[in-house]
Amino acid sequence: MSTITVILPTYNEAGNIRSMLHALFARMASNHLDANVLVVDDTSPDGTGKIVEQEMLSQGRLHLLSGNKEGLGKAYMRGFEYALHTFSPDIIVMMDSDFSHDPSSIPALVAEIDKGADYVIGSRYTPGGAIPGDWPLKRIINSRIANFVAKTVGGIDPEVKDISGGFKAIRASKLEDVDWEGIETSGYAFQMHLLHTFMANDAVIKEVPITFVDRRMGQSKLRLGDILEFISVAYGLNPQSPLRQLMRFMAVGASGIIVNLGVLALLVNHTPLPIIVASAIAIEISILTNFLLHNRFTFQEVIEAEEGSVASRVRRSQTSRDFVGKLITFNVTSLGTAAMSLVIFALLHGLVGMYYLAAQFIGIISAFTLNYQISSRVIWKGKQHD
């Protein structure tokens, strides 16, 4: 039979922890599960730790790990390390200590690990799962947005329905493969970060429906800071996200404006070139610096993937042909979209009579958008779909 350690993080759960522990141990006994329970308490000012110490007097399999308040993610990481070293369990179960997660779902989660899964999520959003009928709209929206952000920004597999939930069973040996140094996520985003890490390690992920109920006593510890951290962690998890690519593309575009103006000033002040020629040269040079930066920075992953697939010398010369091809296409695209913005300006201002700044703005935005579309979909499309 598998040995289990249940980790219960607590912060100010004095109203819940005693009855939670009783419910938990009762469930373990009735299902004949071999389990230790580790409460990871951040020295709760409401005396949660004291209550756990009292319970330990009559419950030999109950343990307490106290620390400073550094957030839910940090508490879990401390708990994992301690549990792996102290109990060497086969399975670690993580759950909230406020009765939102029903101990009677534990056997179903654990059974999936015994059947071969590595990471089993107690899922509110998989068929059969549920959220509290009276959950405030704000929490429903928060939770839905968190899952949406995890998928769109964080690149988490959309097959996983409940990314942010905190009720899971994990194969302990797989936890030992995790590079904890690389996880700095301190708050609730830890749930997503851990899932991401397991997916990257090719773990078998499984979802089991659960009914999430509202906490019995006290209040949620989720803060605005946790939401902001969630978004920034999602962003950091996925270097290939279209959003990040677009931000890099814009940053490079901004650098091109500076190059353009700098070169123009240099030429006008230090050469006898006619100003219109100086302007043309400045435009061309900024297109070239934009190209080099896009190639090395904006679309870095695409280039690395292409180079990674180049095995022989024959293929390598293909790469330099690719480079020149990209350079020419980008140059033509940049000049073409710039010309397009001029045409849009002429039409909107000259023909329709639109205010000149608005006409220019629409021209620039259209040119930028088209340039980005051609760059990301044609020039640096990548070859992963070939």
Exactly one of 166, 209, 256, 363 binds ligand GDD (CB under 6 A); that residue is 166
Are β-strands 119-123 and 91-94 bridged in parallel, bridged antiparallel, or unpaired? unpaired
* Residue 100 lies near Mn ion (rule: CB under 5 A): yes
| Residue 361 vs residues 77, 280, 353, 355, 365: alpha-carbon distances, Å | 50, 21, 14, 10, 6
* Residue 248 lies near Mn ion (rule: CB under 5 A): no
Q: How far is the CB of 100 from ligand GDD (least distance, A)?
A: 5
* Residue 161 lies near ligand GDD (rule: CB under 6 A): no
* Residue 215 lies near ligand GDD (rule: CB under 6 A): yes
Q: How far is the CB of 165 from ligand GDD (least distance, A)?
A: 6
Cβ proximity to ligand GDD: between 69 and 244 the closer is 69
Choose the contact partner of 72 out of ligand GDD, Mn ion, none; CB within 5 to 8 A by kind.
Answer: ligand GDD
* Residue 222 lies near ligand GDD (rule: CB under 6 A): yes
- Per DSSP, 66 falls in state E
Between CA 208 and CA 193 the distance in angstroms is 20
* Residue 13 lies near ligand GDD (rule: CB under 6 A): yes
Cβ proximity to Mn ion: between 75 and 153 the closer is 75
Cβ proximity to ligand GDD: between 44 and 260 the closer is 44
Between CA 244 and CA 240 the distance in angstroms is 7
Residues 129-148 that bind ligand GDD (CB under 6 A): 143
- Contact pattern for ligand GDD over residues 307 through 326, marking x by CB under 6 A: --------------------
- Residue linked to tokens 């219960």: 8
Cβ proximity to Mn ion: between 132 and 382 the closer is 132
Token pair recorded at residue 50: 């004291």
* Residue 100 lies near ligand GDD (rule: CB under 6 A): yes
In the chain, which residue ranges form alpha helices assigned H by DSSP?
17-30, 48-56, 72-87, 106-114, 137-152, 172-175, 190-200, 224-237, 242-270, 275-293, 300-308, 313-345, 356-374
**Torsion 265-271-277-280 (CA) sign:** negative
By CB atoms closer than 10 A (0-12, 13-18, 19+), residue 241 is: middle
* Residue 42 lies near ligand GDD (rule: CB under 6 A): yes
Between CA 48 and CA 190 the distance in angstroms is 23
Residues forming the site for ligand GDD (CB under 6 A)? 9-11, 13, 40-42, 69, 71-72, 75, 96-98, 100, 143, 164-166, 188, 191, 215, 220-222
Q: Give contact residues for Mn ion (rule: CB under 5 A).
A: 96, 98, 100, 215
